[in-house]
Chains A and B, each alone.
Chain A
Amino acid sequence: MEEVDVEPAVTNIPAASSGTHLGFAWGPGDILVYETLYKCHSFITSRLEFPGTGSGDIHEVRKDEDIYSPILRKLFNESHHIFVGLQTIREDLPSKNKKPQFVSISKNYRSVIRACMEELQQVLQKWQCNMETRYVSILLAIELIWNLCEVLFIDAAPAGSLLLHLLDWVRLHKADVDEKAREVLQSESPAEHRDYWDVVGAAYVLQGRLEEARQMLVKQATLQPAARKMYKQMDTLLSKMPFYNPGGTQTLTEFDVKWRHWHEEVDRCLQDNSFASNKHLELICKILVGDEDTLLEHKDLLSTWYHFLVTRLLFCHPTVKPTELHYYAQSCLTMFLDSRSVPEPLDSILLAAFEFDIHQVIKDCSIALNNWWFVAHLTDLLDHCKLLQSHNLHFGSNLREFLLLEYASGLFTHHSLWQLAVDYFDHCPEFGRVYLELQIERVPLDTERKALKVLRICEQRQMSEQVRSICKIMAMRALRNNRLGSALSWSIRAKDAAFATLISERFLQDYCARGTFSDLDLIDNLGPAMLLSDRLTFLGKYREFHKLYGEKRFREASKLLLSLMTAKIAPRSFWMTLLTDALPLLEQKEVSHHIVRYAVYGLLLSNIKKTSKYSYLRSCNQRIFGFFSGKNNIKDVLII
């Protein structure tokens, strides 16, 4: 497969002067560009070297705006749905059963494209604007190409059916015929309408719609009773043209014989000059016999070389085999384009399809279109049909993944479409996961809701590092804004013990300063998360202590107090506060002696400042003091 060398596109940046450099910075979905001057750093001694140069502007440069179009969004959403469905088709079904499924999926994709196109057209007509015009043209081209690929590659119609499918293909993409016909039929005297013969001759006959042609001819016939015989003859010819019936009992060979017979009959009519007196009927006859020159004289009615191709095949070689197609395609293209015009990218793509060069089709489409949507989805479908593996297995699966990754990465920069991208990455076995890990970290966590959404996606895929990181970012943000409760719950979710400790400390400091806890709901419902860090456990238990105390469950409260001190969960620095809080409790008679003794001794033996101990003891009541039997004043107690 040759490499087509395409010149890179040049984008102008409105930079002021010549001689400046352009600096840049990559962003999500764009690149920032600005004027600057680079020099070896040793040469710049002072900024005065560039006097008077204020800074220029910073320009945001983007690649394509397709993902921002609201109408295309529907295309992305619905095709995503189809894509996911396609991935889940069971591998073990025999290919015989799978082909109809693949064809059906292909048709689904195409109907989504059509729907999008129709909506766009409606919008364009309503608003009389031409902003999104290019999308209509692009979608039209895409559907044309996809349809042909479906006929040739996915459905892989054999000789006989092949022509019928191609005929459908052409009819579908030349819808102006019906419009013209409608116009003619709705007129007062259709047979006298100036477009009448164009409709009958060109539109209908060229497209092999002979029934409709006959119906139209009847109208003319009634107006010209004198020529009734001639019209009858034409009608007979038209009615007798054989069309291959794939589901019927007739073999292709039998059909071929019958067709040749008919073809000879038409030719005889021409030779006999049966229609010589009516130039219109003569023209139709020439078309029916497949006369090339006649067809080429009506390029404007055919309008495209591929219409010419299909018409020519219809009236010359209806049993054309797939392998023979490219000969006819190439020659038709050459004949149709005059010497001055050059084939356009669309023509090359269609030609490559007729040559069954799938890779060339994909390649040319990748180059010509600035959005990966089309090539990614089509290649994926073709890969499922096992059509890419005829070259090289590794090569084939790489190409599919490459294109899907490109497409999905493009979606990721969009504020809501990024969620679709996740499924695409999921179905890229080699690099999907690592691409997802890299990009999902960058999704801006504007709101908690969005952060939770991102988290859920990461948790579902066991991306533990990303989970931790996102929770940490949220925790940090909450902490900076002094939302301790939020910070704590995010730290717990991040399983970040160090941070949980830090925040618990802040809670405790807050408590010391204000005398109350904030975020009680959270602390009360910590559950097993409490065990994440010692400080956090203490926070939870300390709050529990307060609750018990508040509910006057003194015995339980005192037991908890004891455990806090013995288990060494309470930080030494906090003991003073703890015991001060506990003082009224210790004075209750329900509290057992040994607890009180432990608490007070603990205090006395600790390295808390003597003056603090002194003031504590002074505030103790007689009951506590009574434990230090024999000591009558505080000073003596303190010496212990």
Chain B
Amino acid sequence: MFVARSIAADHKDLIHDVSYDFHGRRMATCSSDQSVKVWDKSENGEWHCTASWKTHSGSVWRVTWAHPEFGQVLASCSFDRTAAVWEEIVGESNDKQRGLSHWIKRTTLVDSRTSVTDVKFAPKHMGLMLTTCSADGVVRIYEAPDVMNLSQWSLQHEISCKLSCSCISWNPSSSRAHPAMFAVGSDDSNVTYGGKVQIYEYNENTRKYAKAETLMTVTDAVHDIAFAPNLGRSFHVLAIATKDVRIFKLVPMRKESTSTGPTKFEVQIVAQFDNHNSQVWRVSWNITSTLLASSGDDGCVRLWKANYMDNWKCTGILKGDGSPLTGSSGQPTAMSTVVGSSVQTSQNALNGMSAGSIAKLFAEQDSLNEPY
């Protein structure tokens, strides 16, 4: 892997979240400088900042895009105890020429009494629904019944998780085989308070969310949580960032026809990695759920992949220049050369290059930025 380009983010303080939109052509960044910036990617791959504005009166922790079916909509959450919804307004033509766009606030959600730690849109098949979680241990689910009027949001569910919440993740699957489901993680560090991951499921009959499962084996503070995209599987996969990286498999157990409670799950741990050798702060799946990325206290981002035998391994490490590499991983080794001097000689003869130049073919390649 290599750094293809670097973008000067120009925030005046730390960036806390960067979020790509659905098609990967726009991104939003949010910062402790209380603002959000929106960037657009041009044809040649360059990023341009098309909007930058103050969104909150405290650090902005997360920013997230709604599905483009609902238009160009962003949500942000902050230390100032609020979450907000923003919509892009199609501006004057000269604004467009100057490459600028305007975002206006559609609503502020002020129900939380403490810092709002995460904000996520529910899967689109549920309509335009926004979920927040706060340090006060409450998960709130809001709905905008009229997608053409984003200033009207109603608080549909208020779920008390008892422990301070740090992250939420919706199961993205839209299969009718199971009800809507989300997971909440708690960063409460007291291990005696039991499982720090709770799974909630929607009940059609009661029209409420009920707790379906608590992952009791996760007793340390949880900083991030992510359901994997569902690839038509009958079970669910959940990644957790805690004192290590953990991947769980949740297999729904068959319900008796008379049972009206939430689904029971068989919880299996698929993988556990402590390579960061420290707290893991973020986990996230790529689009096809074939790669999981994690970020830890060791200042590294690690990439995890399962082979066709379902064995998980670390396939790459991104490390900041300033960080020493601790934990288990060494320098790139002999895997970097496939073609050795033997074939090289014949190839050299073919195009008259000097013999003795070694082809270091794969790792550490120069960044091939220049277009051929």
Contact = CB atoms under 8 A, between A and B. Distances in A.
Interface of A: 3, 6-38, 40-42, 44, 46-47, 50, 53-63, 65, 69-71, 121, 124-125, 130-134, 136-138, 140-141, 144, 173-176, 179, 303-305, 342, 344-347, 349, 367-370, 398-399, 402-403, 405-406, 409, 431, 433-435, 438-439, 441-445, 465, 469, 472-473, 476-477, 480-482, 502
Contacts of B349: 176, 179
A41 B80 CA distance: 12
Contacts, number: 346
A130 B291 CA distance: 32
A34 B9 contact: yes
B335 A367 contact: yes
Interface string B326-347: 0001111111011110111111
B286 interface: yes
A57 B362 contact: no
21 contacts: A7-B329, A25-B18, A25-B20, A32-B18, A32-B20, A33-B318, A34-B18, A47-B13, A47-B32, A47-B59, A50-B13, A57-B7, A141-B338, A345-B334, A368-B338, A438-B229, A438-B231, A444-B25, A476-B71, A480-B71, A502-B148
A13 B15 contact: no
A58 B229 contact: no
B13 A14 contact: no
A482 B339 contact: no
B309 to A, nearest CB: 8
A54 B350 contact: no
A141 B343 contact: yes
Interface in B148-174: 148, 164, 166, 174
A509 to B, nearest CB: 13
Interface residues of B, number: 120
B119 interface: no
A368 B343 CA distance: 15
B284 A26 contact: yes
Interface of B: 1-20, 22-25, 27, 29, 31-33, 58-59, 61, 68-72, 79, 88, 90, 115, 117, 124, 135, 148, 164, 166, 174, 187, 189, 221, 223, 229, 231-232, 279, 281-282, 284-288, 290-291, 293, 295-297, 299-303, 307-308, 311, 313-325, 329-335, 337-340, 342-347, 349-351, 353, 359, 361-365, 368, 370, 372
Contacts of B320: 12-13, 15-16, 18, 20, 22, 35
Contacts of A433: 232
Contacts of B335: 6-7, 9, 345, 367-368
Contacts of B288: 405, 409, 435, 438-439
A359 to B, nearest CB: 11
Nearest to A118: B350
Contact of B317 (A11, A16, A441, A473): A11
B362 A370 contact: yes
Contacts of A482: 90
Given A16-B321, A55-B12, A38 B79 contact: no
A344 B19 contact: no
A34 B124 CA distance: 28
Nearest to A343: B340
Given A6-B335, A125-B351, 11 more contacts: A20-B323, A22-B318, A41-B166, A55-B13, A59-B3, A346-B343, A349-B338, A398-B308, A409-B288, A438-B229, A442-B22
